[in-house]
Amino acid sequence: MVLGENFSSMNTEVFSSTRITSVDMGASKITKIGSYAFSSCPNLTNAVLSPVLKTINEKAFSSCKALRTVGGLLRMYLPGR
C-alpha cells in the first residue's frame, strides 16, 4: 500500500490486524504513527517510513512477526526514551 502526500497522520490501530503486506509512506507527510497502528499484521514484511516522521507511538508495529525491513528514517522521537 502506498500512502501519498495527502496523508499527514496515522491514527491508533488504523491498520491493526489487517492482511497488509507492505506500506510505503515515503511520499507522505506523516509525522506521527499512532499506537498499535500496524499491530498484529502477520503478513507485513516491509515498511518505508515518511521522511518527516517524528514520532512512532507505543507498539505501532507489535506482533508483526514477518516484518523484515524498515526504511526511510531521518529523525524521530520515541516516547519514553
Report pLDDT for 2: 94
Specify whether the CB–CB gap between 35 and 55 falls below 8 A: no
Specify whether the CB–CB gap between 23 and 47 falls below 8 A: yes
Specify whether the CB–CB gap between 76 and 52 falls below 8 A: no
pLDDT digits (tens, 9 = 90+) for 68-80: 998 886 555 555 5
Q: Which fold has domain 1-70?
A: 3.80.10
Report pLDDT for 9: 87
pTM for this entry: 0.84
- 71-76: Cβ within 8 A, 24+ apart: 71/47, 72/25, 72/26, 72/48, 73/49
